[in-house]
Amino acid sequence: MKNILLIGLFVATVLCSPFVVSPYYATLVITMFGYSIALMGLNLLFGYGGLLSLGHAMFMAIGAYTVGVLGSKMGINSFEVHLLAAASVSGLIAAVLGALCARYTTIYFSMLTLAFGMIFHSFLFKFYNLTGGETGISVARPSLFGHAFSEISKTRFLTGPFYWYSLVLFLVLFALMALIVKSPFGQALRAARDNPQKTEFLGVPVLRVRYVAFVVSAVYCAIGGAILAVSIGAADPELAFWTQSGNIVFILVLGGLGQLFGPLVGSATFALLQDFLMANTQYWRFAFGALLAIIIVVAPRGVVGLLARGFGGRR
């Protein structure tokens, strides 16, 4: 029941927004898609795997910079190539870092990922030629399925073709994640979170399960980052700064940790709230801080949990 209502609301919103709301809000929805995809990855690792990463902004930035470098520096405009490259580069880097990180849990895992995130952030400044240093690199409009859409304005491109492209990408990745969390792998990951020792004795190689979740989460974050880069029009080091890693954890907890709809609801709530608060008060960070405290205390399952309670749902 809860799911049907949520899905109905979601479908109505995303189908209507390009026609009804201003271009500004339509771009906001793209941002929401980007964050949702990244958060799905983080949710797999943190929500279902119990591993709190404080460095996943790195993988979002890898996605964003891949689009920037390929488009602006190498003249490759195909967004499909961008996505494939972003996913591969991020997955490869995660495969290397994960070999170390996935051996740790709790605060040690968090600190390791934080450390690698900081190292990556400083790399962005160091390799100025590739990354543009402090200013970052601009992200040119990519082509979608070979169409450059050069006849329409940037805004029309974003609120038109790119909007639908991102929506489809979001839906595909959402369906895939829904499958992953219900699959034997998803169950093993949750089992490893709840009781790693027992899980190991049930024949599950716990470290390898965590490792795979780490890599998958990095791929999702990179794809989310790639979408954000196009909608922002730039990839800058802020995206990789450690506060951004904390930010995405915040959005996920806001939406609902370990809930399938948590990433979507979290990023929608965040995008709308941030927009509203920033327009109305300079103390928006204060409001967010207070909101997080309230969520943790009264709604540990986030906005998804609140909605479920409101609809009288079971969970």
Partner 1 sequence: MEMLLRARDLTKRYGTFVALNNVSFDVTKGEVVAVVGPNGAGKTTLVNTLAGLHVPDAGDVLFEGRSVVTLPPAARARRGLARSFQLVSVYPSFTVSEMVAVGAFSRRGRTFNMLRPASWFEPERSEIASVVEAFGLSHRLDTLCSALSQGEKKLADIASAMTLRPRLILLDEPTSGIASSDKHRIMERLLAATESLGVESLVLVEHDMELIARYATRVIGLRAGEIVADLPPSQFFGDPDVIESIVGKVPGHAHG
Determine the distance from the C-alpha atom of residue 75 to the mean position of all C-alpha atoms in its chain, rounded to a whole number.
Answer: 26
Q: Are 144 and 162 in contact (CB under 8 A)?
A: yes
Instruction: Indicate the SS3 state at residue 30.
Output: helix
Part of the chain binding partner 1 (CB under 8 A), chosen from 66-74, 177-185, 238-246, 247-255: 177-185
User: What is the number of residues in the chain?
Assistant: 315
The tokens describing 298, both together, are 């009264």
CB of 216 to partner 1, least distance (A): 8
Q: Which is nearer to partner 1, 44 or 144 (CB)?
A: 44
Residue 183 contacts partner 1 per CB under 8 A: yes
CB of 199 to partner 1, least distance (A): 7
Q: CA dihedral in degrees (69, 70, 74, 80; nearest 10)? A: -170
Looking at the DSSP bridge assignments, the partners of residue 78 are 143
Which of 199, 217, 244, 259 contacts partner 1 by CB under 8 A? Answer: 199
Residue 196 contacts partner 1 per CB under 8 A: no
Q: Which is nearer to partner 1, 153 or 183 (CB)?
A: 183
Residue 314 contacts partner 1 per CB under 8 A: no
Residue 201 contacts partner 1 per CB under 8 A: yes
Q: Which residue has the tokens 């709190």?
A: 52
Q: Which residue has the tokens 């399925």?
A: 145
Site string for partner 1, 237-276 (x = CB under 8 A): ----------------------------------------
**Which H helix or E strand runs over 123?**
helix 106-126
User: Alpha-carbon distance 201 to 192, whole Å?
Assistant: 11
Part of the chain binding partner 1 (CB under 8 A), chosen from 97-105, 176-184, 238-246, 286-294: 176-184
Q: Which is nearer to partner 1, 139 or 181 (CB)?
A: 181
User: Alpha-carbon distance 54 to 158, whole Å?
Assistant: 30
Which of 94, 112, 144, 209 contacts partner 1 by CB under 8 A? Answer: 209
Q: Which is nearer to partner 1, 157 or 185 (CB)?
A: 185
**Which H helix or E strand runs over 50?**
none
Which of 9, 148, 179, 290 contacts partner 1 by CB under 8 A? Answer: 179
Part of the chain binding partner 1 (CB under 8 A), chosen from 109-117, 179-187, 235-243, 259-267: 179-187
User: Alpha-carbon distance 112 to 240, whole Å?
Assistant: 15
- What DSSP designation does 65 have? H
- What one-character-per-residue DSSP string does 263-283 give? HHHHHHHHHHHHHHHHHH-TT
Q: Which is nearer to partner 1, 4 or 315 (CB)?
A: 315
Residue 203 contacts partner 1 per CB under 8 A: yes
Site residues, partner 1 (CB under 8 A): 179-180, 182-188, 190-191, 194-195, 197-206, 208-209, 212
